Structure 1
Amino acid sequence: MSTGTEFESKVVQVGDHRIHMKIAGGTGPLVLLVHGWPESPHSWRHQMRALADAGYQVAAIDQLGYGRSSKPTAVDETRITTRVATTAAVVEALGAETAVVIGHDWGAAVAWTCAWTRPDVFTAVVGLSVPFGGRGLMALPGSPRGEIRPSEIERRIAGPDRVWYQQHISEVPGLVERDLERDVRGFLTAAYYTVSASFLEPVPELRTFDEIAGWLRGTGLCVSPGTPWSSYYVQPEKLPDWLTEEDIDAYTEQYEQTGFAGPLSSYRTNDLDWELLGELAGKTLDVPALYIGGDRDPCTIWGRDAIAIFDEVAPRNHGCVIVPECGHWIQQERPDEVNRAVLDFLAAVQP
């Protein structure tokens, strides 16, 4: 399996920002990979080699605020429209006119929005974990296309005695950063384990908003006031087979150097992003699209409303692949299934 160390690093200047990436492959069509939180280009190590071997030019970027990319200091500098513009500029900086964009977690929200708002650049899209959510980005239950302001639907999900984790991150700037940075390696190890199928139990059939919200309230996604977020994550007795000490080393080195303030900034722009994308409410996603979810991933569970209307909101979609016995870290937990689905999709959409 790929370790990620064999890929070349590249830095490009796009407008006011510096974007670092790992690149592989040659002269084939460009595939741009956008990681989630708390991850890095390393999370795409298995896909980069498979895509390069299939002839594609591959670039896995450090998102704004992460790794060796620029660290904007104002929260609104990491708004979704800036992330889309920066990602589109990366395509041009790499000498391409178009690209297929693939994202996971927050990277999926960026990837969907890139293809939704800039189909002239992003000609196809794959989203992992988080389904297409329109102006709402996170495809939350009860608001699959962003019908309701994010902070409002988050309050409804959490209920009167809990706080949705994204609101918890936003409430007191610096609070979560101090919590997580006390033991970066410990937090990352516990987070990767606790939100994977190595820890998560099979999820019962949940149909209504109240059923889904009730299940979410029993997870670390809904925080009791005054309780550190890190306390909801469990340390494994040993690492699962899909995650090595070398992988933890790679992530820990990055976050010990950069901290969590930049990476967490995207959680603090949810309402602003919703307002910025308001004029696009109801617009369909008009490029070929594929969704890949894990059957135990909380994002797949909360995104069931969005998955159910995928045919309606993405009329050129190539379906939804739900990977069995898989948690949140889909491309790392089940790389063979993800690679097969992505390569089949790319073969179908390439001219």
Structure 2
Amino acid sequence: MPQLPVPASAPTHRLVSSPAGRVHLVEQGRGPLVLLVHGFPESWYSWRHQLPALAAAGYRAVAVDVRGYGRSSAPAAVDAYRMLDLVADNVAVVEALGERSAVVVGHDWGATIAATSALTRPDVFRAVALLGVPYTPPGGPRPSEVFARMAGNGGGVGDGDSGGHEVGIGSGGDKGSGGDGEGGGTGALAVGDRGGVGGASGDLDLVSTGDRAATGTRRAASGDRATTGIGPGTGADRGTGVEKGGARDGAAGRPGAGADETGRPAQSAGPAGELVPHDEFYVSYFQRPGRAESEIEPDVRGWLAGFYTALSADSMPGPGAPDPHFVTRGGTLRERFPAGRRPAWLRERDLDVLAGEFERTGLTGALNRYRNMDRDWADLAGYAGAPITQPSLFIGGALDASLAWLADAVTAYPETLPGLLGSHILDGCGHFVQQERPEETNRILLDWLAALPV
């Protein structure tokens, strides 16, 4: 006689104590604890498809509102949102639930919070699953400097038909396969900035700066490009990686934003006559308190709908459209969101829930996470280059820009995630993995959880 599935219990909402005040959580099911951590700009509700599936499979599934979101505490101080404080919140949730350990699963910023939780508190978090954003060990150059260098998303600067703009941040160095050049990379455990600008023909120098830098040449997939890797460590760069020269941006098969018909980025002359890109990377745009809030808060529902649309596979901008991860100087992110359509996963009632929380709380708490990246860099200096050794899992969307920017981090997983039990790239999927592809995500998560040591 076949076994009937265990019915999923009704979700329970409650608040538990944390170092900053209170954390709101939604709990469903009984069994080993699985802690679900959302990203920006979302809430516990992003896990609505996973909570019942995990509960039905015999797990105690708990989704939190991260500090500053939803019904969790939202301290006024910007520096109250540093990464180690969010880790402390996760530990407090586990303890408040009467548990000694948990599996932690995160998406987007939640993936980074989950990874740091596993890295710094392996005594509490026995396994970690990352959705959307790969693990990049702490270290390397100051994040604000890296993101500032990512300004000016567009085509190649200089000769050639239109070298696409493709910048990677994080660990792993340049470790593509094949290729006919060899140069210094940033190393498997370093954090680096890999900018792709250049022409469509001819061997160009690859320069790596750091503790043991080297120079060399590298042939890109469609024309050779000059690239730069910045960060400590060593590592050979041999070939293509994910960088593709030519007219398209590797993030999602799009031309670089701000590029003209020749593929060159829109630029202007600075005070010293240097070329200054018009575009600003969204992380840099979020840094100044109040700036992004003034764009978003007058129409939270419309802005969120546009943001979700821009990053989802079935509704993201097509070839030729400006990249929504960049802001034209003096402009807004919203100007680059696609109009007149929504992703299939985003129903009206889903948008009601997601927008309703931000309409009540505002966006400052959520945006303050971005405003602590340099503090995190300093706080985690003692973990520079450190791997996560617990059992791990990665699920990414093939059309997610994060996967293109951090492709080298995925390549470095044998060194950075030695306990990796599975790495899954979902074709035709964008950034919101567990909402765009809930059934596939649930199957992968449940198979992985079943394979974990007791």
TM normalised by structure 1 equals 0.88
1:64 to 62, 67, 90: 67
The answer to whether the Cα contact below 8 Å between 1:25 and 1:58 also exists between their aligned partners in 2 is yes
The one-letter amino acid of 1:253's match is: G
Query: 1 CA distance for matches of 2:318 and 2:37?
Result: 28
User: Is it true that 1:165 corresponds to 2:282 in the alignment?
Assistant: yes
User: Is it true that 1:156 corresponds to 2:149 in the alignment?
Assistant: yes
Tell me the percent identity. 44
The one-letter amino acid of 2:122's match is: P
Query: 2 CA distance for matches of 1:273 and 1:94?
Result: 27
1:267-306: CA deviations, max 9, x gaps?
A: 0001110111111102111101111100001111111010
The answer to whether the Cα contact below 8 Å between 1:189 and 1:235 also exists between their aligned partners in 2 is no
Change in CA separation of 1:168 and 1:240 when aligned onto 2, cut-off 3 Å: closer
User: Is it true that 1:191 corresponds to 2:307 in the alignment?
Assistant: yes
User: Is it true that 1:130 corresponds to 2:133 in the alignment?
Assistant: yes
Query: 1 CA distance for matches of 2:393 and 2:41?
Result: 23
The answer to whether the Cα contact below 8 Å between 1:201 and 1:296 also exists between their aligned partners in 2 is no
**Structure 1 residue aligned with 2:42:** 39
| 1:267-278 superposed matches below 5 A | 267-278=370-381
Query: 2 CA distance for matches of 1:168 and 1:222?
Result: 8
Q: CA deviation at 1:201?
A: 6.7
The answer to whether the Cα contact below 8 Å between 1:186 and 1:235 also exists between their aligned partners in 2 is no
| 1:1-351 superposed matches below 5 A | 7-26=11-30, 28-135=31-138, 146-159=139-152, 160-161=276-277, 162-171=279-288, 173-200=289-316, 218-237=322-341, 239-351=342-454
**Structure 2 residue aligned with 1:208:** none
The answer to whether the Cα contact below 8 Å between 2:70 and 2:361 also exists between their aligned partners in 1 is yes
The answer to whether the Cα contact below 8 Å between 2:101 and 2:125 also exists between their aligned partners in 1 is yes
Query: 1 CA distance for matches of 2:439 and 2:16?
Result: 31
Task: Give the 4+ runs in structure 1 shifted more than 4 A.
Answer: none
1:300-326: CA deviations, max 9, x gaps?
A: 111101001011111111131001100
Secondary structure of the residue aligned to 2:345 is coil
Change in CA separation of 1:6 and 1:219 when aligned onto 2, cut-off 3 Å: farther
Gaps of 5+ in 1: 136-145, 204-214
The one-letter amino acid of 2:333's match is: W
The one-letter amino acid of 1:338's match is: T
Change in CA separation of 1:169 and 1:201 when aligned onto 2, cut-off 3 Å: closer
**Aligned-residue CA RMSD (Å):** 1.9
How many residue pairs get matched? 323
Q: CA deviation at 1:202?
A: 8.6
The answer to whether the Cα contact below 8 Å between 1:202 and 1:296 also exists between their aligned partners in 2 is no
Q: Counting strand residues as a fraction of each chain, which structure ranks higher?
A: 2
Which one has a bigger Cα radius of gyration? 2
Q: CA deviation at 1:346?
A: 0.4
Query: 1 CA distance for matches of 2:332 and 2:326?
Result: 11
Gaps of 5+ in 2: 1-8, 153-275
Secondary structure of the residue aligned to 2:295 is helix
TM normalised by structure 2 equals 0.69
Q: CA deviation at 1:72?
A: 1.0
Secondary structure of the residue aligned to 1:134 is coil
The answer to whether the Cα contact below 8 Å between 1:44 and 1:60 also exists between their aligned partners in 2 is yes
